[in-house]
Every structure is written in structure tokens, then in C-alpha cells.
Structure 1
Amino acid sequence: MTTALIRRHTETEPAPLFETPGHLLDKFIKDFLQPNKIFLDQLHKAVNTICTFLKENCFRHSTIKVHKIVQGGSAGKGTALKTGSDADLVVFPSSIKSFTSQVAERTSVINEIRHQLEACQQEKNFEVKFEISKRTAPRVLSFSLKSEDLNESVDFDVLPAFNVLGQLEFGFKPSPAVYTELISLYKSPSPLRGEFSTCFTELQRNFVLSRPTKLKDLIRLVKYWYKQCERKLKIKGSLPPKYALELLTIYAWEQGSRAEDFDTAIGFRTVLELVTRYQQLCIFWTVNYSFEHEIIRNFLLTQIQKPRPVILDPAEPTGDVGGGDRWCWHLLAKEASEWLFSLCFKDGAGNFVRPWNVPAASQIPIIWGARMPPTVNEMFSFRSRGLLE
């Protein structure tokens, strides 16, 4: 497809991605995927107004205070699409004093937040349409912010959570005690696995937000591709979460480029080729937790020996968004294999671009702390899984 053909499409009717040549992908992202800057500004103002109102008014007739409100999801990370994006507003009230009390207290907290959101809706003026969902759920409250002029919107989930990280400064690691407590709860017979990802929203957001603009645009492109696959495949099986594809995109860039400016077609091809190699994927980061602490190290070694794909949440190690055979990676891999022959991966001369050379598995750092070095059986296991050279 030529540039002239792409221009014929309106902003609400994107050109087919499959037919867009690789050297025009940056234009495709700019024209069809990036949210309008006017809407982003309106969104930012509206979210600030809502957060300020909630902090000042929630529980004002009690001793309970709201420590902080953190915006997560694609809008918080800077990877939102023009349409159909989501975001989280995670509210950290003082009444939630532990992981387990998060479960016990959340219904009453959500009821209070709903009351205050309705008051905010009545008392404040917004440049966007502010709609609170009438759906009631014990774990989450939803609302949307829409621009009717620009036909753009973001759906928000409001979630109460335990402020386990405190007032975390950007770039600082949490105390290992945060993770040892989480791991202990995860390993207990209590049915609370996966309940506490929201407590780490700030770290999840910062992990993506700090990345170069072009990498966030590549994430947008991968998410757009994923949504096309999702529409086609949803009746056949449950696909892995979008977050897994976000992390896979970051991993591909870290291992293959690390440049602030790179060829989008090459990055996109690398991600799709990693998807086709899903049975080899074992990916983790040590930016927030590491192998240095014995309890965390032993847990990580257990996590990375699970059936692949394994993709650990860089914010909290109990979250494996790769999920082994939990999701239908084979369906996504089949789509990725077919897409590798699309025009997306041809350069201006009509030649297929070559992907970055990226291993399918992260390497275990040789840091064993006070523990004895790994046994021969452990070393053999790690090598057979591609975790050691």
C-alpha cells in the first residue's frame, strides 16, 4: 500500500495493518493509534480533578485517610490506543492495613468511593463526558471518560489496595520484606493467589512509563495487532493477557536494540517471532526483586522452572503472565506465523527486514549470596531450560 492509499483512510477508519509496508508503520501509529493530544490533555485534567476530590472527600467524617491514588493501565503507562483503552485508579486508604485486610475491607471502600464519585460528577465540570458504570461488583468500580467530539474514550476501574510500598520514590527497590510476605501468602493454602497485583501498580506503571517514546509506540502497535487477533480468535480459546505482550515487547527491545530510535518493522517482527517461540519463553527482570535474598531466590528458581511460557511480572514475582498452558498461546503463535509474511515486514525496497537476535529466555545472574552454589542437577536443569549458557 502506498502513502497515497493510506491517506485516503480517515482517522476513524485505519488502513489495514497487514497491508501497510514496514517503512510506513511509524506513520500508521501516528495517524491511527496515538490518542489525540487534546483528548490526552482533557483526560489528564479530569483524572487530576477526580483524584483530588477523592483524596479530600473520601472518609472525611472518619479517621480514615487516602494515602495516595495511582493511575495504572495503558493510560497511566503512556501506551493507550486511540480507542478502547483502559486504565486503573488504585486507591490506597489507611483502613487497609495488610494484604488480607484488602480482601475484608474492599467492599466498604468501594461503596464510599462510589458515593464520592457520584458527588464529584455533580459538583465538578469536565471537558469530557464522565459516566459511572451502573454495574455493581464487590471488587471494582468502573467509570469512563469520553470525548464525543473526538470519538475517543478510556474506561477506568477503581480498585482499593494495601499500601505495601508506602511513598515509593521513583527508581528505588522495595524492601525484600514486601516480597517475602507476598510469597508466604502465595504459598499458603489461602485462596488469595493473584489478589494483590494492584498493590504493585506503581511499579508496573513505572516499568513501562520510563521507556523511550518509540518503544511505547511499538507497544501500541503490538497491542493493536493483538486486538485484531483477539476479535478473530476469541471464540476458539482464551488468549494470554495484553500485559504479557507488553512485557514481551520490552524484553525484545532490551535484548535486541536498547536504542531510543529504531526500525519499527524490525521491532514488530522480533516480537511476533518471539510469540511463535512461546514454548521456549522464560523471561524475568530483577529491577524490583532479585536472587540475592534467599527466600526470594528460592521462589524465583521455582517460578522459572514452571512449564513455559513463563513471563514474570517485573513488579511482583508471584504473577506469571506467561501462564504455561493456562492460555491458548498456540492460537496467537499461529496468527503470528502467518503475519510474518505481511507487508509490515518489508522495507522501502521490498525486502523483508531481519529481526533482532533475541534469546527466548532470560539468563540467571550468577549471584548465590550465602547459599551454596547450585547442585549439578540444578545446573543441568537450568541449562536444559536455556537459563544458563
Structure 2
Amino acid sequence: MALPRMWGLRPRSYNCERCGNDFVSRTALRYHFQAKHLGRVHCETCGKEVLRECLLQHAKTDHEMILTSNHRSYWDMTRKRRTKFVATETLTSCRMCPRQFGTAHAREYHEKQEHHFTASKRAQMSTAFKPENILEYKTPAELTKFVEAKLRPISNAVSWGCASEVEKIIEFIEEVFPLPITYVTKGGSYIKGTDVQDSSDVDIVLFSGAFQSLEDCQRKIPEVLEELGKRLTKPSWINRVILQERTPFSLRFYFKCYKDHHGHLFDIMPCYDMFGPTLSAGLKEGFYRKLYHCSDSDKIQLYTMALLKHQVEFVKASTERVKDLIRLMKHWFKTSFATPGEENKFRRLPSSYAVELITIYVWELAGKPMFFSYVQGMRAVLKLLVQYQEICAVWHKHYRPNFPIFQKVFLKQTRPFVLDPANPAFNVCENSNAWDEVAHVARELVKPNLASLPEEWAPSFQFTINAANDSIQSHGIELTLVDETAS
């Protein structure tokens, strides 16, 4: 006799060990495995599933390194950036092995069962305060002085010379690019104004009408990048351009800038000219539909390159004070987290773009104040990171609230959820699988009873918000952003 539905019993589900998806029968699970995973293995470098016979070719094309002789000993290289221009659902990948899962819950269960990833182990593997970390600055005045002296780019003859040199190298790139260029889009922290003194990156997307289609661009990119790499090593620039790495979508090099005082990390990306430098509302929505329904991760990367201009404009519009707060948050990430070791080499912290958007989001929740204390502003961001599972940030500058693609993505959201202001199909938080570690390190800094926390940081900072803004209440954050002189 069938059991009454009131008992709430559900039929047994069968779980795929490879991706974490559930199926109602063994037959369905077996069919799924044969269609999606049979004959495929995980790449030890990136964790992507590829056909066993294509593993060597994948390693050669996706992870090929282009290094010049002895450049590592000559120059202090900036830390490598992510291989892909846009990450895709790293949120569901294991930190200790290359396995991917269908849900974050399946991934977390795997980490606990297979790798014994307990809370104490997470604390041990995530926290490592390095020199010049935030705890070294005992007062708001000391922190302000640090931001002005060590983080904010100095405005003097060197910076003016730097701007001139960057423009020259961009002109040189356009001159030696193997194909005719329709237009160029510039991005990266240097262009957005969120770069720090010891770290600066520049993204250059070169759109060309020589590509007949997106598929044609996809096929030709490797040979275009190879030819561009050869042309960049001309004698006039050979001592200043250090080829670092070639990814499937970009050529990466380090550029020694004005009088060798510092340098910039460049990513050069060719792309198919999909709609020209301007994008009407109708074309934009059609473009978003194509992007949303695209199942090819490589094409998604190319589609997203076309949105770089709008991403840059969104961050660049922030005030200088907010950009300083962004620099401070980037410094916190750089000096507060342990470097991944052999055991957790697949750990991925949030991208710089995610940090920028979350910081801007907190500032907007505070009513966009012109003046505020760095201590209080940073504490507000950290409090939000502690509650990362409640983060839900959306901007409607480029897509309307009733746009079907936005509504579909919003309903399927995973937390934290920070939707790219220029792309309604992309949650920028997906590029990290270590949000619990971010929350742990943030919690250590905002604990009022933490012994190492400076006394000036311990009081309960209050955040004054527009009373009409109900969303802030769901985060439980209160901030008071005040002029630094009040500290």
C-alpha cells in the first residue's frame, strides 16, 4: 500500500560522484555518467574534465608557459592573475583536489568526508598575517597615513611619466597587432583607478573586423597571439617587455615602466567585433540572451570581453575615497590569508573585481557618503563578508528588473550573489570556492574581544543608513561613516 503523502517521504536519489547532481534512478545516473563523464579525467592543473586522449593537448594549449631566460631573477614579478578573463562556477570545485560538483553543498560534503576539512583545519590553512597587515596600524590616523603613503599611487613626475609610458606601449601593441583593429577597450586596475603602488594591471581588448564570426575568432586566436608575442620582442622593447604566460584567450607580459621604478602586468586579448563600440538597448538584450544560452565556456569568455568597457566605467565612477577603501580591502586580502600549499592548491579567493563590487555595494548602502573613516568603512565591508551567505547585490544600469534573463539568474542564485553590473548572466562570486575562509579571517578582525585587535577598532561602529533602505537590515550591518578628523 502506498504511503500517504503527509509523511513527507521522498523517493531515494542517486548522486553522481563526479558532479554532485542527483537522479531518481540508477538508470538515469548511469545514462548521465556515460554521456557526461565516461572517458574523461580531471586535469591536475585546472581541475577541468577533458577527454583522456586530449589531456596532453589540453595541457599544452591551456597551460603553456612562455618565459624568457633569467627574467625571474632580474625582476620581482607581480603575482599571477587568473587564467581566464571570467571565471565560471569555481564555487563548486574542491579546494584540495580537482573534482567539480553540481552544488556547493555537494562540494562541502566531499571536503569533509574525503579531506577531513574541519573548522580547525580551515582556520589553520586560511589565516596568515604578513608584514604591514592591517593589525599593525593602531589608530585611524596611522591607517590613513599608510593608505596615502603606501597604497595610493603617488601623483608626481614619476606617475606622469608612467601614464606616458603606458600610452606608448599600448600604441606599440596596436601598431604590431597582426590584424586590422576596429577599436580598443582598456581595463584593469590601472585604468579603473584602483591600482596600488606595488601592483598594477592593464587589460587591452583588441576588436578586429578580420574575424568573420565568433567561431572564426575562437579558431584563430592561438596563431594571432603567437604572432603578436614574436612582434612584441622587437629590439627596442625587448628589455622592457617580459613575456610571462599565454592563456587560451590572452597574451600576458610584464612591462617595466618609467625608469624601471615599477611595472604593469598586461593582458592582451583579441576579440571578434560583435556589435561595435556602442550598444543599443535592443542589441544589448539580444546579446545577453546569446550569452545566457551559450554552453561553451570558451565562447562565454569571448562574449564577456565585449562588456569590459561597461565594467570599467562602473568602477571608475566611484569617488577617490571609495577607491582608497578598495585598495585597503585588496591589501587586506594580500596580507591576511595564507598562500595555498600543495594540500589546498585548488583554493581560489575572490577576484579583485568581486572585492571592488562588494566595497562599492557597502558604500552605496551607507548612502554614498563623500567623507568617512577608513577604519569604519573597512569594518563595514568585513562585517558583510562575515555574513557572506546573505550578500545579494544587483545593479540595474544595463539590464532592467523585469528582463527575463535577469529574473532567471536571480531565481537560481547561489550565495553570495553579486551580479556583474554589465552582465546579468554572471555572478562574480562564482570565481571563489573559499568564502567560508574569507568569513573566518574577516571575523578574526572584527571580533570585539580579539586580543590582538587595536583598542580603537574594538567599539561597535554604527552605520547610518537611509531609513527607506530595507535591504541593509537583512545583513544586520550598521555603519557610521564620518570624517577622519573626527577620529
Regarding TM over 0.5, the answer is yes
- Where does residue 151 of structure 2 map in the other structure? 33
Say which SS state the counterpart of residue 160 (structure 1) adopts.
Answer: strand
Q: Please, which of 214, 220, 223 is the counterpart of residue 330 of structure 2?
A: 223
1:110-146 residue CA offsets vs partner (Å, 9 max, x unmatched): 2343243223xx3469xxx622315444421112123
What is the correspondence of 1:355-374 to structure 2 with a 5 Å cutoff? 355=463, 357=465
Q: Which amino acid aligns with 1:208?
A: V
With over 3 angstroms needed to count, the CA separation of the structure-2 counterparts of 1:271 and 1:98, relative to structure 1, is farther
Is the counterpart of residue 186 in structure 1 residue 292 in structure 2?
Answer: yes
Q: Is the 8 A contact 1:93 1:161 kept in 2?
A: yes
The CA distance in 2 between the partners of 1:275 and 1:166, in whole Å, is: 38
Q: Is the 8 A contact 2:367 2:466 kept in 1?
A: no
- Where does residue 443 of structure 2 map in the other structure? 337
With over 3 angstroms needed to count, the CA separation of the structure-2 counterparts of 1:352 and 1:118, relative to structure 1, is same
1:87-115 residue CA offsets vs partner (Å, 9 max, x unmatched): 21211122235444432232233234324
Q: Is the 8 A contact 1:266 1:345 kept in 2?
A: no
Say which SS state the counterpart of residue 289 (structure 2) adopts.
Answer: helix
Report the Cα offset of residue 71 of structure 1: 2.1
With over 3 angstroms needed to count, the CA separation of the structure-2 counterparts of 1:80 and 1:174, relative to structure 1, is farther
Is the counterpart of residue 287 in structure 1 residue 397 in structure 2?
Answer: yes
What is the correspondence of 1:225-374 to structure 2 with a 5 Å cutoff? 225-232=332-339, 236=344, 237-292=347-402, 297-305=403-411, 306-323=413-430, 327-341=433-447, 343=453, 346=456, 351-355=459-463, 357=465
Report the Cα offset of residue 15 of structure 1: 4.0
Q: Which amino acid aligns with 1:353?
A: F
Q: Please, which of 85, 104, 109 is the counterpart of residue 200 of structure 2?
A: 85
With over 3 angstroms needed to count, the CA separation of the structure-2 counterparts of 1:66 and 1:266, relative to structure 1, is same
The CA distance in 2 between the partners of 1:212 and 1:352, in whole Å, is: 26
Q: Is the 8 A contact 1:141 1:157 kept in 2?
A: yes
1:327-354 residue CA offsets vs partner (Å, 9 max, x unmatched): 110000010011114657837xx84533
Q: Which amino acid aligns with 1:116?
A: R
Q: Is the 8 A contact 1:164 1:178 kept in 2?
A: no
With over 3 angstroms needed to count, the CA separation of the structure-2 counterparts of 1:205 and 1:191, relative to structure 1, is closer
Say which SS state the counterpart of residue 145 (structure 1) adopts.
Answer: strand
Is the counterpart of residue 214 in structure 1 residue 324 in structure 2?
Answer: no
Is the counterpart of residue 71 in structure 1 residue 186 in structure 2?
Answer: yes
Say which SS state the counterpart of residue 66 (structure 1) adopts.
Answer: coil
Q: Which amino acid aligns with 1:241?
A: S
- Where does residue 24 of structure 1 map in the other structure? 142
Q: Which amino acid aligns with 2:277?
A: Q
Say which SS state the counterpart of residue 422 (structure 2) adopts.
Answer: coil
The CA distance in 2 between the partners of 1:227 and 1:124, in whole Å, is: 31
- Where does residue 277 of structure 2 map in the other structure? 167
- Where does residue 376 of structure 1 map in the other structure? none
Q: Is the 8 A contact 1:282 1:362 kept in 2?
A: no
Q: Which amino acid aligns with 1:49?
A: K
Identity of aligned residues (%): 26
With over 3 angstroms needed to count, the CA separation of the structure-2 counterparts of 1:101 and 1:315, relative to structure 1, is farther
RMSD of aligned C-alpha atoms? 3.3
With over 3 angstroms needed to count, the CA separation of the structure-2 counterparts of 1:329 and 1:19, relative to structure 1, is same
- Where does residue 366 of structure 1 map in the other structure? none
With over 3 angstroms needed to count, the CA separation of the structure-2 counterparts of 1:340 and 1:204, relative to structure 1, is same
Segment drifting more, 312-321 vs 34-43: 34-43
- Where does residue 156 of structure 1 map in the other structure? 266
Is the counterpart of residue 46 in structure 1 residue 174 in structure 2?
Answer: no
With over 3 angstroms needed to count, the CA separation of the structure-2 counterparts of 1:183 and 1:202, relative to structure 1, is same
With over 3 angstroms needed to count, the CA separation of the structure-2 counterparts of 1:95 and 1:328, relative to structure 1, is same
Q: Which amino acid aligns with 1:201?
A: L
Q: Is the 8 A contact 1:75 1:85 kept in 2?
A: yes
Q: Is the 8 A contact 1:226 1:242 kept in 2?
A: no
Unaligned runs of at least 5 residues, structure 2:
1-129, 477-487
Is the counterpart of residue 58 in structure 1 residue 177 in structure 2?
Answer: yes
Q: Is the 8 A contact 2:158 2:258 kept in 1?
A: no
* Count of aligned pairs between the two proteins: 333
Report the Cα offset of residue 283 of structure 1: 1.1
Say which SS state the counterpart of residue 50 (structure 1) adopts.
Answer: helix
Q: Which amino acid aligns with 2:410?
A: I
- Where does residue 310 of structure 2 map in the other structure? 203
The CA distance in 2 between the partners of 1:146 and 1:227, in whole Å, is: 22
- Where does residue 104 of structure 1 map in the other structure? 219
- Where does residue 210 of structure 2 map in the other structure? 95
Say which SS state the counterpart of residue 292 (structure 2) adopts.
Answer: helix
Q: Is the 8 A contact 1:97 1:163 kept in 2?
A: no
Q: Is the 8 A contact 1:84 1:154 kept in 2?
A: yes
Unaligned runs of at least 5 residues, structure 1:
1-12, 364-383
The CA distance in 2 between the partners of 1:307 and 1:343, in whole Å, is: 33
The CA distance in 2 between the partners of 1:84 and 1:113, in whole Å, is: 24
The CA distance in 1 between the partners of 2:454 and 2:361, in whole Å, is: 21
